[in-house]
Chains A and B, each alone.
Chain A
Amino acid sequence: MVGHQGITETFTLKSLTDEEYLLPGNAACPGCAAVMAMRIGLKALGPRTVLIVPACCMSVAQGHYPKTPSKVPVFNTAFAASAATASGIRAALEMKGITDVYVVCWAGDGGTADIGIQSLSGAAERGDDLIYICYDNEAYMNTGTQRSSSTSEGARTTTTITGKAERKKDVPGIMMAHRIPYVATACASYPLDFANKLRRAVSIKGTRYIHLLSPCPPGWRYPSEKTVEVGRLAVETGAWILYEWTGGRCRLTGPSSGLADRSRRRPLEEYLRIQGRFSEADPSKIEAMKKRIDEEWEMILELCKG
Chain B
Amino acid sequence: MIATGNHAVAYGVKAARAEVIAAYPITPQTQIIEKLSEFIEKGEMRAKFLRVESEHSAMAACIGASACGARAFTATSSQGLLYMSEMVFWAGLGSFPVVMAVVTRALAPPWSIWNEHTDMLTQRDAGWIAIMCESVQEAYDSSIQAFRIAEDRMVRQPVMFGLDAFSLSHTSERLELIGQEEAEAFLPAPEGGWKVIDFQDPTTYGNMAGPERMMEIRHSIMERVKDSARVIEEAASEFSRISGRGQAGLVEEYRTSGAEVILVVVGASSGDAKDAADALRDEGIRAGVARLRVLRPFPAEKIRAAVQGCRAVAVVDRDYSLGSGGIIGQEVASAIGAKPFNYIAGIGGRDLSVADFSGIAKDAISRAEAGEEGREIWWGIKG
Chain A positions within 8 Å of B, measured between CB atoms, are 47-48, 50, 52, 59-60, 62-65, 68, 70-78, 80-81, 83-96, 101, 118-119, 121-122, 125-126, 128
Contact = CB atoms under 8 A, between A and B. Distances in A.
Nearest to B18: A95
Contact of B87 (A81, A86, A96): A81
A37 to B, nearest CB: 18
Nearest to B209: A65
Contacts, number: 162
Interface string B208-235: 1110010000000000000000000000
Contacts of A121: 53
Contacts of B47: 95
Nearest to A95: B19
A226 B199 CA distance: 36
Give the bracket for the number of chain B residues in contact with chain A. Answer: 35 or more
Interface stretch (B66-74, B166-174, B274-282, B359-367): B66-74
A66 B52 CA distance: 32
Nearest to B200: A73
A119 B54 contact: yes
A125 B53 contact: yes
B65 interface: yes
29 contacts: A52-B64, A59-B208, A62-B204, A64-B207, A65-B209, A72-B199, A72-B202, A73-B204, A75-B64, A76-B205, A77-B64, A78-B56, A78-B86, A80-B56, A81-B57, A81-B90, A84-B22, A84-B61, A87-B22, A88-B22, A88-B61, A92-B66, A93-B68, A94-B48, A95-B19, A95-B20, A118-B54, A118-B57, A122-B57
Contacts of B202: 47, 70-74
Contacts of A128: 50
Interface string B260-279: 00000000000000000000
> Which 10 pairs show the lowest CB-CB distances between chains A and B?
A88-B64, A88-B61, A76-B206, A122-B53, A84-B57, A68-B204, A92-B70, A92-B68, A81-B60, A84-B60
A50 B68 CA distance: 11
Nearest to B208: A64
B197 interface: yes
Contacts of B48: 91-92, 94-95
Contacts of A76: 204-207
A122 B20 CA distance: 17
A68 B53 CA distance: 32
B52 A65 contact: no
B351 interface: no
B196 interface: yes
Interface in B72-100: 72, 86-87, 90
A90 B196 CA distance: 14
Given A119-B57, A122-B52, A89 B207 contact: no
A94 B70 CA distance: 10
B350 interface: no
A89 B52 contact: no
A83 B207 CA distance: 18
Nearest to B61: A88
